[in-house]
Structure 1
Amino acid sequence: MTDFSTFDVADYLENEEVIAEYLTAACEDENSDVFHAALADVAKARGITREGSGQAVHDELKALKAMPLTARGLS
Structure 2
Amino acid sequence: MIEILSPMGGSVWKTEVQVGDTVAVGEVLIILESMKMEIPIEATEAGIVKEIKVAEGDFVQEGDTVITIET
Q: Please say which structure displays the higher CA radius of gyration.
A: 1
- The TM-score, its normalising length taken from structure 2, stands at 0.29
- The TM-score, its normalising length taken from structure 1, stands at 0.28
Q: Which has the higher helix share?
A: 1
Q: Which has the higher strand share?
A: 2
